Structure 1
Amino acid sequence: MTDSTLAIIILAAGQGTRMKSETPKLLHTLAGIPIVSHVLATARELDAAYTVAVVRHERDQLVSVIVDELPDGLVVDQDDVPGTGRAVELAVLALPAGFAGDVLVINGDTPMLDVQTLSGLVAEHRRSGASATLLSAFLEDASGYGRILRSASEGDGAGRVDRIVEHRDASPSELAISEINAGVYLFGVAELRDLLPKLTLHNAQGEKYLTDVVELLRKAGSEVNVLPVADSWLVAGINDRAQLSEAAAKMNAIIVRTWQLAGVTVQDPATTWIDLKSTFEPDVTLLPGTQIRGATTIARGAIVGPDTTLVDCEVGEGAIVKRTDATLSVIGAGASVGPFAYLRPNTILGDNGKIGTFVETKNAQIGEGSKVPHLSYVGDAHIGVGTNIGAGAIFANYNGVVKSETEVGAHVRIGSHNVFVAPVRIGDGAYSGAGTVIRKNVPAGSLAMNVAPQRNLEGWVAEHRAGSAADVAAQAAEQSGSGPAIIASPPAGINPTDSAPDAEKIGD
């Protein structure tokens, strides 16, 4: 149920310069979705009465994501006054005047922060009756973080909280404190309405610090509680690409373990990457070097990998997909794909079908039980059930202006090294000879072939490749009258100018 006494403010106005990227920091992806989307999803699960996101830099791109995730949320633009204090001040002004509950402030760059931790913070704040409650963490290297200052036993979590000092404003003794401000706060809205307008810009960064509200509360005699988190990675912010990779590794480890406990075999968690939106049924096996991306779904008993990347794919029950790169494709139950297959968007492989070694497909529907075993390109094609496409087939779908489709019927047998010049249709039960270029429709039950007599130019090797190994072998064959040579080169001890020995004695 909606918590009518809770409002959430998400701080998403930072520029993120340390990312050194044209992409806004909060839109860099983590487990397949933008960093900020993780935070928005957590906020959505808390089901607050109001959620306000404060934006500034690259605001249009951010707003499009925010609106998709939280269509009922409020978006506030931060003005030219810098600082988290000003951002929260503007967000509070956007709340209805009649709202009298608690305000949870979280950062848009803390994607690991979960509902359980935030729910615990809200519960503790309301139990204690404090004016403010915030999260902290203990770090071996606290560089860049604000420090929690306590009136007694500073830095060990035992004393009363007096204030928070930002890293740039801290003295050497304060920098030695290992308890850091996690940037997650819960305030009563009345206190914020009273104190936020009193914040100043008198600090090293010339910003309105939200952390100064803590000191103002303490000076007024109000209680401020700090709730340390058990694992510091829960509140770790992402400011650069190194921190992004660290968060990605941690989140991936959590995702992999979650699926392992749900009945998925992951042989090598260190080399297996799974996006948050991907799903699996029990008894799926993921082999080393496998990446499951986007909204991929994999059914019971399927084996995927090694060295396979699936993006937004659907894999049927019992299918085997190895050393394959596939995007927006459907692989039927019991089907086999790879190794070294490339499935481009809108590839649909029917149940018990096969896309084999060094095969590329695109916009291709391959019927149940049909096979494209090896060394082929199938683009813009519809292949019926029970059909076999011979090695080296090319579906020539593009004439330089438009792309056209090829239709191959059911139970067709295509010879090796065929080229289909689209648009063309091959009827049910038809056959084609090796090396055929099919430029016109083939009726059902017909054999298609290109009739061209074979020419043998006798003596060509002796004339044009005199003295070569081929010439020596040809002369030996002619002298012995044995016909084509069986071996590529003579065994040790046999003079190639001598009569060729019997194939039975040499072997093949």
Structure 2
Amino acid sequence: MVAIAILAAGRGTRMKSDLPKVLHELAGRSLVERVLQSCQEIQISRRIVIVGYRGELVKEALMGGKEIRDNPQSPPLEFVEQTEQLGTGHAIQQLLPHLQGFQGDLLVLNGDVPLLRSETIKQLMAIHKQHQNSATLLTANLPNPQGYGRVFTDSQNLVQQIVEDRDCTQAQKQSHRINAGVYCFHWPDLEKILPELKADNDQKEYYLTDTVNFLSPVMAVDVEDYQEILGINDRKHLATACDILQRRVKDKWMTAGVTLLDPNSITIDDTVELQPDVVIEPQTHLRGKTSIASGSRIGPGSLIENSQIAENVTVLYSVVSDSTVAQNSRIGPYAHLRGHAEIGANCRVGNFVEVKNTQIGDRSNAAHLSYLGDATLGEKVNIGAGTITANYDGKNKHKTQIGDRTKIGSNSVLVAPITLGEDVTVAAGSVVTEDVSNDCLVIARSRQAVKPGWKLKEPKK
């Protein structure tokens, strides 16, 4: 059995924010959600988050967040409060009444270390079990270890001493092997010695690292890529972590056959799925649960968020959110699809067209300057420039239905609720307020009047 405990009680004063540090976002997920995500590939029996500063906000964010929705089979989250933040040892002491009788291993992670790979955690756990250690800790060799506790071991990687940076002598500070703050303990061994921790240091805090003085054997495991254990303490660290995550994601997709033109100007969330032969143009950003199928070309200058793009679609200088686009369709330039828009195959949604909560059938076109909201369009429908579905009456939204092969003339307004049948033609400039049956021409405008010799009178001086 394995329980995980995530340290998420701190405020993070250097973030200069009222938001708890662990709730700051990194590429679409909060820091603490990313830590939880890194544990998905190991068998976990309990998941505990230790909260403190604005703990209710952390609870609310996690219980309603992506991590819970995406992993419904995971053990439920448990929350333990650390009312005073007196160090990592003090935080784990709060688990004593909650893990009473637990006979498994406890994996301790920091809620502000979001780049840890699941493979690294699996390796740590495997070595811990293989050697039947009382404790196993993750270490790394940093080019600049300033600010991190140093770890000193023998030739078998058995830990002899851990010294916090502020307590190191000048000689000890020459070591580059640091404590990553990730531990696996055999809980029955740790449970016995936790009450013995003392705050004999400059900070008057209880260090979890002091437990190595009472446990045996304790082994260190070096992480291959030290960037995995970088913590987030300020906005600069957050930006650095984002760069690292983006490099990982982009390298993965380019290796898998995706073309990224000017990768430095592109951002891709790690929740995005791409197929080979997708081309991503500069200044394009892919967010959330987005998937893009083979042969599609996205950008330049496009944002795709929580949307599904089928094969051979082009999206040029456009925004697509919470929507789907079927194969061989063209979107943009400067189109906006939102609110569960569904675009059929071989369609065109062109310049400055907004589509909201609307289903457009195959081979239909809305080429310019139109708004289609709360509408259903059949196949081979043509929407003339400047067409508007007037879907809102000031209180409620209403539906517009347009049948197959219907043509809407330029600068027309369809006042919902309204239904136009198949093979209907709406004359340009019409304001249509009543349903129209199949095979009709609709002219809903005043006849033009011309008065010769008329001009506006000049006002009296």
**Following the alignment from structure 2 to structure 1, what is the Cα–Cα distance between the partners of residues 127 and 243?**
31
Partner of residue 208, structure 2: 210
Say which SS state the counterpart of residue 41 (structure 2) adopts.
helix
Say which SS state the counterpart of residue 88 (structure 1) adopts.
helix
Change (3 A) 1:415 1:146: same
Q: 324, 328, 350: which is aligned to 2:344? A: 350
Give the CA RMSD over aligned residues: 2.6
Instruction: Give the 5 Å matches for 1:90-239.
Output: 90-99=94-103, 101-149=104-152, 161-217=159-215, 222-239=216-233
Change (3 A) 1:114 1:433: same
**Following the alignment from structure 1 to structure 2, what is the Cα–Cα distance between the partners of residues 80 and 23?**
18
**Following the alignment from structure 1 to structure 2, what is the Cα–Cα distance between the partners of residues 102 and 425?**
64
Maintained 8 Å contact 1:287/1:306: yes
1:175-217 deviation line (CA, Å, top 9, x unaligned): 4443221101223323312221111223222221111112344
What TM-score results when the alignment is normalised by the length of structure 2? 0.89
Maintained 8 Å contact 2:41/2:122: no
Q: Does 1:291 find its partner at 2:285?
A: yes
Say which SS state the counterpart of residue 370 (structure 2) adopts.
strand
Partner amino acid for 2:221? L
Maintained 8 Å contact 1:297/1:313: yes
**Following the alignment from structure 1 to structure 2, what is the Cα–Cα distance between the partners of residues 269 and 81?**
42
Partner of residue 264, structure 2: 270
1:160 shift after superposition: 6.9
Moved more, 379-388 or 187-196: 187-196
**Following the alignment from structure 2 to structure 1, what is the Cα–Cα distance between the partners of residues 319 and 35?**
31
Q: Which one has a larger percent helix, Structure 1 or Structure 2? A: 1
Partner of residue 29, structure 1: 25
1:378 shift after superposition: 1.2
Partner of residue 20, structure 1: 16
**Following the alignment from structure 1 to structure 2, what is the Cα–Cα distance between the partners of residues 458 and 28?**
70
Partner of residue 450, structure 2: 455
**Following the alignment from structure 1 to structure 2, what is the Cα–Cα distance between the partners of residues 414 and 269?**
42
Q: 75, 91, 96: which is aligned to 1:87? A: 91
**Following the alignment from structure 1 to structure 2, what is the Cα–Cα distance between the partners of residues 251 and 108?**
17
Identity of aligned residues (%): 38
Change (3 A) 1:441 1:172: same
1:260-307 deviation line (CA, Å, top 9, x unaligned): 222322223222222222212332222221111111122222221111
**Following the alignment from structure 1 to structure 2, what is the Cα–Cα distance between the partners of residues 443 and 123?**
70
What TM-score results when the alignment is normalised by the length of structure 1? 0.81
Q: 295, 304, 315: which is aligned to 2:309? A: 315
Change (3 A) 1:81 1:378: closer
Maintained 8 Å contact 2:364/2:381: yes
1:81 shift after superposition: 5.9
Maintained 8 Å contact 1:274/1:291: yes
Unaligned runs of 5+ in 2: none
Say which SS state the counterpart of residue 56 (structure 2) adopts.
helix
Maintained 8 Å contact 1:50/1:95: no
**Following the alignment from structure 1 to structure 2, what is the Cα–Cα distance between the partners of residues 81 and 395?**
57
1:29 shift after superposition: 2.3
**Following the alignment from structure 1 to structure 2, what is the Cα–Cα distance between the partners of residues 61 and 44?**
23
Say which SS state the counterpart of residue 439 (structure 2) adopts.
coil
1:169 shift after superposition: 3.2
Maintained 8 Å contact 1:37/1:65: no
Moved more, 48-57 or 372-381: 48-57
Instruction: Give the 5 Å matches for 1:436-447.
Output: 436-447=430-441
Say which SS state the counterpart of residue 94 (structure 1) adopts.
coil
**Following the alignment from structure 2 to structure 1, what is the Cα–Cα distance between the partners of residues 400 and 133?**
72
Moved more, 423-432 or 388-397: 423-432
Partner amino acid for 2:4? I
Change (3 A) 1:207 1:19: same
**Following the alignment from structure 1 to structure 2, what is the Cα–Cα distance between the partners of residues 92 and 46?**
23
Partner of residue 477, structure 1: none
Change (3 A) 1:16 1:446: same
Change (3 A) 1:393 1:31: same
1:371 shift after superposition: 0.8
**Following the alignment from structure 1 to structure 2, what is the Cα–Cα distance between the partners of residues 314 and 19?**
35
**Following the alignment from structure 2 to structure 1, what is the Cα–Cα distance between the partners of residues 205 and 404?**
72
Partner of residue 389, structure 2: 395
1:382 shift after superposition: 1.7
Say which SS state the counterpart of residue 395 (structure 1) adopts.
strand
Say which SS state the counterpart of residue 443 (structure 1) adopts.
coil
1:347 shift after superposition: 1.1
Say which SS state the counterpart of residue 44 (structure 1) adopts.
coil
Q: Does 1:75 find its partner at 2:79?
A: yes
Moved more, 374-383 or 90-99: 90-99
Say which SS state the counterpart of residue 367 (structure 2) adopts.
strand
Maintained 8 Å contact 2:275/2:293: yes
Say which SS state the counterpart of residue 125 (structure 2) adopts.
helix
Q: Does 1:55 find its partner at 2:59?
A: no
Say which SS state the counterpart of residue 361 (structure 1) adopts.
strand
1:341 shift after superposition: 0.5
Unaligned runs of 5+ in 1: 152-156, 465-508
Partner of residue 426, structure 1: 420
Maintained 8 Å contact 1:18/1:239: yes
Change (3 A) 1:98 1:144: closer
Change (3 A) 1:145 1:98: closer
Q: 19, 31, 36: which is aligned to 1:40? A: 36
**Following the alignment from structure 2 to structure 1, what is the Cα–Cα distance between the partners of residues 85 and 334?**
56
Aligned length: 449
Moved more, 407-416 or 119-128: 119-128
Partner amino acid for 1:417? N
Partner amino acid for 1:178? H
Moved more, 304-313 or 136-145: 136-145
**Following the alignment from structure 1 to structure 2, what is the Cα–Cα distance between the partners of residues 45 and 392?**
52
**Following the alignment from structure 1 to structure 2, what is the Cα–Cα distance between the partners of residues 81 and 294?**
34
Partner amino acid for 1:240? D
1:400 shift after superposition: 2.5
**Following the alignment from structure 1 to structure 2, what is the Cα–Cα distance between the partners of residues 26 and 118?**
20
Partner of residue 375, structure 2: 381
Look at both structures and tell me which one has the larger radius of gyration over its CA atoms: 1
Maintained 8 Å contact 1:53/1:91: no
Partner of residue 474, structure 1: none
Partner amino acid for 1:320? T
Partner of residue 505, structure 1: none
**Following the alignment from structure 1 to structure 2, what is the Cα–Cα distance between the partners of residues 322 and 51?**
44
Partner amino acid for 2:183? Y
